[in-house]
Amino acid sequence: MRARLLSLLAAGTVLAPFVAPLPAQGFPKTPPAPMPLAPAQFPPFQEAVLPNGVRLVVVENRKQPVLSVSLSFAAGSVTEPGTKVGLASMVAGLLNKGAGARNAEQFADAIEGVGGGFAASAGDDFLQLYVNTLSRNAALAFELLADAAIRPAFPEQEVELLRTQTLSGLQLERSQPAAIAGRTFRQALYGAHPYGRSATEATVKAITRADLVAFHKARLRPQGALLVVAGDLSLAQARALATKAFAGWTGAPAALAALPPVPARTQAELILVHRPGSVQSNVLIGNTTWGPADPRRYAATVANEALGGGSEGRFFRILREEKGWTYGSYSELETRRGAGAFSASGEFRTAVTDSAVTVMLQQIRALRDAVLPAQEFADRKGSLTGRFPLQVETAEQVANRVATARLLGLPADYVQTYRQKLAAVTAAEARTAAAAAFRPEQGVIVVVGDGQTLWPKLKGLARSARLVDVEGKPMDPADLTPKASTLALPWDRLVARTDSFEVRLQGNPFGYQVTRLERDGAGWRHTDVTVLGPIVNQKTVVTFGSDGAMQSVKQEGTAQGQPMAIDVAYANGRATGSAKTPGAQGPTEVKVNAEVPAGALDDNLLQAVLPMLPLAPGAKIPVTVFQSGKGTAATWTVRVDGEESVTVPAGTFATYKVAIDGAEQPVSLYVSTAAPRRVVKVAFNGVPIEIVLVK
């Protein structure tokens, strides 16, 4: 009946192409049912093996004259030594920084000049190179890919540039709670297995040019490498271009060392990473799962979609839409060549963190305890199967899916049958798979947040719980409460002074800082004006008595386009007032009304007081601070990391390099060793900004 009606309408449109057919019926008041789904055809692709052992996959698609080519090796971070974590990523980052006859600049010009791009990166299991361009540049694309994979030069200067950038990135991560949570989570889940490792300053510094050359020579070999070509090129053309570009390239990668087993947990562990004064908490809950070919993955994917997949999942609907505790909360099943993982994540206000963790655990259990209601199950599964065509719309998307399946060693028909297998999952199977995949009782709960508030509320949520600092070192819960300061500072030796600094971005002038210490009645007034290009513009005034007792702090200005203000008075052992500080989701305002430990310094005064501390090689000095922008007290540690000679416009100084553990923005301060001591340079870790003393 339906078919006949349609064919009549079709005939009508042929006869009168510019007059639309009359409406067959009125506008329906309810949405139409899905139209029949054509059999889901995975787009065709072809495979071959080149004489040197490179596996070739071609997804020919002549729709547009574009081409994408990728080349993958089993050379991910699992293959690097534990003392050189970061080696695979550095190799990937250097492949196009001088290769074949071109230096880094010429390589970039070659691909950008014809319209296109090149990229390379290393993950846990694989190292991959990609080129995209118009198909008329196919020969150049293969030439550049072959140069980068076979003939990288690893110039010393590029190695050091990338090392500096990598170290800056690591330092920046220490200020990013999501990165701290991820590192802690991986380490707890995978233990000594390479999936549990993260690069550190020490492992990155240990990497030599010889290591890079040796890794490249051992691991980037043709035997078993995967070359995937997508777009306007046939298998025969791809084979011919690859054969020419890869001429003379032979050999197999070195055998992979056996990997240690993934630790088996019998009970849940909670790890609270203390981030003093954090107004939000990052939560990661999860456990290890199974290898990539496990048949339960389809049913588990549907269960995961219902739990935390996108804006229709339970986490999002309950934690954001109903409770308003977060901007978003999600869950995912991570697939690796070895054991994968289940992870549930969210970022919550400190005050509701324990409630949010409780709700997340409840919802995880609910997926195992009861079969999903029929409508919810149908909607979530429908979303997953419906989305699939949008994920294979372009030749490049198709190629990526085939490449992933081949690299992970999935069954030969995996990509073709994926959607049907998802569609065949029943609600009962989803429940059984949820029980196997979501096991926080044998997993880990990582929370990065303010330990002082959270430890008492969270420690009971798992059979075992431990507290660590942002470096991962164990902490005694007793250390969470800031104690009265035991520092005796020589306040009577203070003298009025003004210091002028220049702010530099990558060595160019970018702003200034002026600090002034002056008498204010019987006490002191310290004024700090800081301008960092368009990023920060602030003025801070702190007053304190001749005995060092804090009296008031006033700050005003803008940071990253957001207004900031602090107006806090210190009296009778308390701080009262208000503060507005910038944040990722707009300014945060807090009412300040808190007890202040005896001898605490306002955190805005620390730079000024630093030269008065008993600095010496290897010194670690606990300093009790009141963070007036957050309204909480904390104990920070001033640590002398070494001695360096520093040249700034004001002259050349022998200095102590000082770090402050506990402060939000990691910085290195350089304090002259000779009296009168002064701060002569401040470097912001992870960003190319320096403040240098002018006079």
Please give the Cα distance from 142 to 241 (Å, whole number).
Answer: 7
CA distances from 79 to 257, 434, 547 (A): 8, 32, 59
Q: How far is the CB of 95 from other proteins (least distance, A)?
A: 20
Quickly count: other Cβ atoms within 10 Å of residue 620's Cβ: 9
β-pair partners for 589: 580
CA dist 588 and 573 (Å) reads: 25
Strand, coil or helix: 420: helix
- Sign of the CA dihedral 381, 384, 387, 388? negative
- Taking the least distance from each CB to other proteins, the nearer of 67 and 319 is 67
User: What's the min distance (Å) between Cβ of 333 and other proteins?
Assistant: 18
Length in residues, the chain: 695
Integer Cα distance of 614 and 488 in angstroms: 10
Round to whole Å and give the CA distance between 407 and 640. 47
Cβ nearer to other proteins, comparing 107 with 455:
107
Task: Classify burial at 350, counting beta carbons within 10 Å of its beta carbon; exposed 0-12, middle 13-18, buried 19 or more.
Answer: middle
Among 351, 570, 334, 355, which Cα is nearest to 437's?
Answer: 334
Tell me how far, at minimum, the Cβ of 10 lies from other proteins, in Å. Answer: 3
Q: C-beta of 220: minimal distance to other proteins in Å?
A: 28
Rounded least distance, CB 59 to other proteins, Å: 12
- Residue at token pair 């004006």: 529
Q: Record the tokens describing residue 193, joined without a space.
A: 């297995």
Residues near 283 by Cβ (< 8 Å), separated by ≥ 6? 181, 344, 345, 346, 347, 348, 353, 356, 357, 360, 445, 446, 447
Give whichever of 318 and 531 is closer to other proteins, judged by the CB atom. 531
Query: Are 444 and 189 a contacting pair, CB within 8 Å?
Result: yes
Q: Which stretches of 332-394 are DSSP H helices?
A: 353-369, 374-391
Question: Smallest distance from the beta carbon of 565 to other proteins, in angstroms?
Answer: 11
Closer to other proteins at the Cβ: 111 or 188? 111
What are the helix and strand counts (H, E) for the chain? 18, 27
Chain mean position to CA 505: 24
305 vs 354, beta carbon nearer other proteins: 305
**Amino acid code (one letter) for 672:** S
Residue 586 beta carbon to other proteins: minimum distance, rounded to whole angstroms? 7
Minimum CB–partner distance for residue 202 and other proteins (Å): 33
Nearer to other proteins, 562 or 576 (CB): 562
User: Which residue type does 179 have?
Assistant: A
Q: Where are the alpha helices (DSSP H) in 408-475?
A: 414-423, 427-437, 451-458
Of 306 and 640, the one with the shorter C-beta distance to other proteins is 306
Q: In the bound complex, what is the minimum distance in angstroms from residue 547's beta carbon to other proteins? A: 34
Q: Between residues 65 and 411, which has the closer beta carbon with respect to other proteins?
A: 65
Q: Is the peptide bond before 676 cis (omega within 30 degrees of 0)?
A: yes
CB of 558 to other proteins, least distance (A): 7
Answer yes or no: are the C-beta atoms of 347 and 281 closer than 8 Å.
yes
The DSSP secondary-structure symbol of 99 reads B
At 145, list the tokens.
């890919």
Shortest distance, position 186 Cβ to other proteins, whole Å: 31
